[in-house]
Amino acid sequence: MAYTDRFRRPQEHEDLLGKLTDRKTGTFATMVEAMMFAALLGHRRGERKPFDQVDEPIRLALMESRDYGEVLLDMLGAVECPDDPKILSADRQPERVLIFEEYANAGLSHLQTLINRQSDQDLDTIISNLVLEGLRTPPEEEKDDVGDILASADLDW
């Protein structure tokens, strides 16, 4: 079922999302934040993973109200379809949401793999290591699509 005002959570990763957002031990305060992190992780790895089994969808307004939430949806869409500026039009929002969902699913899958492999490390350590890895300068051969888009826009900040 397609939603126009919601984004889907992969049912396969509900336990992981629960751990990520646990009030006492979770790294993220909300599922929205955990999904945003997972989408960025999936994109960083260049992986999208479709899914059919879904759990309770999340209102899109919750992401759009977060700092950079709406920007994240737009940037993932723009990077995924660099030769299609119409991807940013309002009528193509469901397509951008699907891109976000699939990147998030891939990111959650990768995170679960890391948790399984590094069972001696706690979740915060694994996520901290991922953040540090993401902050490192990308290797020369890794294309920086977002940087290219911003550089070509000739923005005067």
Burial 130-146 (b: 16+ CB within 10 A, else e): beeeeeeeeeeeeeeee
CA–CA dist 157, 151 (Å, integer) = 12
pLDDT digits (tens, 9 = 90+) for 24-63: 888 999 999 999 999 999 999 999 999 999 888 888 888 8
- 8 A C-beta contact, residue 7 and residue 35: yes
pLDDT at 65: 78
pLDDT digits (tens, 9 = 90+) for 78-95: 999 999 989 999 899 999
